Amino acid sequence: MSLLTLDHLSLSRNDTPVLRDISLSIEPGECVGLLGPNGAGKSTLMRAALGLVPASGQSSLARLRAADRAARVAWLPQAREIAWPVSVAHLVSLGAMARGRAEDHPSVAAAMARMGLETYRDRVATALSGGEQARVLLARALAQDTPLLMADEPVAGLDPAQQIRSMRVLRALADEGRGIVVSLHDLGLAARHCTRLLVLHRGALVADGPPETVLTPDLLAGVFDIIAHRADTPEGPSFQPLATVSQ
Amino acid sequence: MSFSRLLTLLTVLVMLLFLASLVTGVAAAGPGESFRALVFGDGGPLTLVMREIRLPRALLAVMVGVSLGLSGAAMQGLLRNPLAEPGLIGVSASAALGAVLALQTGLAAAFTLALPMAALLGALAGVLLILLLAGQGGGALGLILAGVALSALAAAMTSLVLNLSPNPFAANEIVFWMMGSLADRSFAHVWIALPVMAVGWLALANTGRGLEALTLGEDAAAAMGTDLRRLRLMVVTGVAASVGAATAVAGAVGFVGLVVPHLLRGAVGGRPSRLLPAAALGGAALVLAADIGVRVILSGRDLKLGVLMALVGAPVFLHLIWRMRGQT
């Protein structure tokens, strides 16, 4: 059964279309990279799919009751907000709480271990560096222990090693049978770690398929406005943007 | 310190201050004599003082303190801002408008409870307006802006009434009322405030889980199963009922809702749900202590509770900000 089904999802703001007639479904075992230039509608698509912003069309998750939805999907917003000086262990346990589970549910310890946070338990979350906070917040989403995880630019601002580690965690979750939807700006990271890529351009879904068939020079020029050098390494493809197509 | 230990400590503190409040006053009588008169009742003047003056006064101090502390913790949790306080949504300003109308129309002179009842009605009317303005979506910013607008409007209308008042004493009376005090209150004040406050406390006590989720921001909280509209409604009505009733019987008592959650946040590990009961007890302790202070420091001069609170509260708050520098 699909973890998420979108049926003709559209959304306009002040008569400007932000999402145009998007239909797709996400299956267990898929690590889906959501790509597109700034303003293409990546965040809005995920938030509309979750029912956090009203949109026309159908989303299988948006019509669920809030508590039921929290059992089906975990959401990691782009804004890394931690309002109060709580401990790392407590912050991660909020994921279990969203499912009505106890603070010491095994999913909490598992999420901490997966993100390498065992020694951070009693640290104050607000006193951590930005990169450490990003890991803690991803652990919080993992602790929700849902079949589907949607993450909005979870690796933005992380150092290269942490970017790779975070993507490995997401891919491992997909390989274990969960579904992942992750928006990214690094094309190489997306191509190497995702099983499927979706490309948004001005609110429309313009490509959907395995990384090999999606990231063509024509698409990079037409959607991203770049000419990029592609190198194939033993780890997978890498893309180095060299120039813009337009001025 | 563990959470249960903290709550036990605060409860003991409130109980001790409650007893201290009962034996503080102008009537010359020892503690033992006072408590005997309170419990057994000899029908003499001391029994009357204890049962009709000091007991309601101490009870009101606890009720007002619980309301302000709890509301402050809930407001800070909802707005995710340590500078938020209950007056932010315009409750105090609308209660003042209700009070000034009662004074102006002569209702306050007609019967004792007219003033608190009018203040309560003013607070509730103000909050209905807030809910109309910010109840539908809008988020934290919409709520703050609506609160600022309502406060300004209520203050302007209060000024207008005083401005056009043919009664030169109205301004005087309202100024004294706004300073906040628990002097000369009776059980009638307890009974008018308690049911309204209890409704507010109940609403606020149920917001813990939602406030915990809000630690991660509105978007994440919504996706974690929190109904943000319901949470906002619970906090706003809870604050309005409890602080509206507190303002109605005690006038404007500032700083409690701001300082108490701030002082106790570290002790509860920053957790908004644990801050609710801790701030409720802390608020009760602070108001009891301040109300003892106004009777001891300038006995016979009717020092106002709100004045002392601001005099002590503002420097404490400055000290906190001083210590927080560079930590955030």
What is the 8-class DSSP label of residue A124? B
Query: CB–CB of B213 and A90 under 8 A?
Result: no
Q: Is residue A87 part of a domain?
A: no
Which of A67, A74, A77 lies nearest to residue B219, judging by beta carbons?
A77
Q: Is residue A232 part of a domain?
A: yes
Full DSSP string of B11-74 = HHHHHHHHHHHHT-SSS---HHHHHHHHHT--SSHHHHHIIIIIHHHHHHHHHHHHHHHHHHHH
Mean pLDDT of A134-147: 96
Query: CA B188 to CA B192: how far, in whole Å?
Result: 6
pLDDT the model gives residue B137:
60
pLDDT the model gives residue A178:
96
Query: CB–CB of A52 and B223 under 8 A?
Result: yes
Residue B223 contacts A, CB cutoff 8 Å: yes
Q: Is residue A107 part of a domain?
A: no
Domain count, chain A: 1
pLDDT the model gives residue B165:
78
pLDDT the model gives residue B327:
54
Contact map slice: B 244-273 vs A, CB within 8 A: 265-266, 269-272
Residue B36 contacts A, CB cutoff 8 Å: no
| Residue of chain B whose alpha carbon sits nearest to that of A94 | B213
pLDDT tens string for chain B (328 positions)?
789 999 999 999 999 999 999 988 776 677 777 888 787 777 778 887 888 889 999 999 999 999 999 999 999 999 998 888 888 888 888 988 998 888 888 777 778 788 888 988 998 898 888 888 776 666 778 888 888 899 999 999 988 988 887 777 777 877 888 888 898 889 999 999 999 999 999 999 999 999 999 999 999 999 999 988 889 889 998 999 999 999 989 988 888 999 999 889 999 999 999 999 999 999 999 999 999 999 988 777 778 898 998 888 888 778 877 876 655 4
| Residue of chain A whose alpha carbon sits nearest to that of B275 | A84
pLDDT the model gives residue B326:
57
Classify A19 as helix, strand or coil: strand
pLDDT the model gives residue B135:
62
Query: Which residues are CB-neighbours of B197 under 8 A, at least 6 positions away?
Result: B63, B66, B67, B241, B242, B245, B246
- The CATH number linked to B280 is 1.10.3470.10
CB B23 within 8 A of CB B295: no
pLDDT classification of A247: cutoffs 50, 70, 90 = confident
Summarize pLDDT for A82-133 with one digit per residue, the tens: 999 999 999 999 999 999 999 899 999 999 999 999 999 999 999 999 999 9
Q: What is the mean pLDDT of chain A?
A: 94
CB atoms under 10 Å from CB of B327, counted, come to 8
Domain count, chain B: 1
- The CATH number linked to A169 is 3.40.50.300
β-strand A56-59 against A31-35: which pairing, if any? unpaired
Query: CB–CB of B271 and A90 under 8 A?
Result: yes
* Domain of residue B82, residue span: 3-21+29-324
* Domain of residue A240, residue span: 4-79+148-244
pLDDT classification of A139: cutoffs 50, 70, 90 = very high
The model carries a pTM of 0.90
Reply yes or no on whether the pLDDT at A46 is more than 90.
yes
Q: What is the ipTM of this complex?
A: 0.90
pLDDT classification of A8: cutoffs 50, 70, 90 = very high
Query: CB–CB of A52 and B222 under 8 A?
Result: yes
Query: CB–CB of A86 and B266 under 8 A?
Result: no
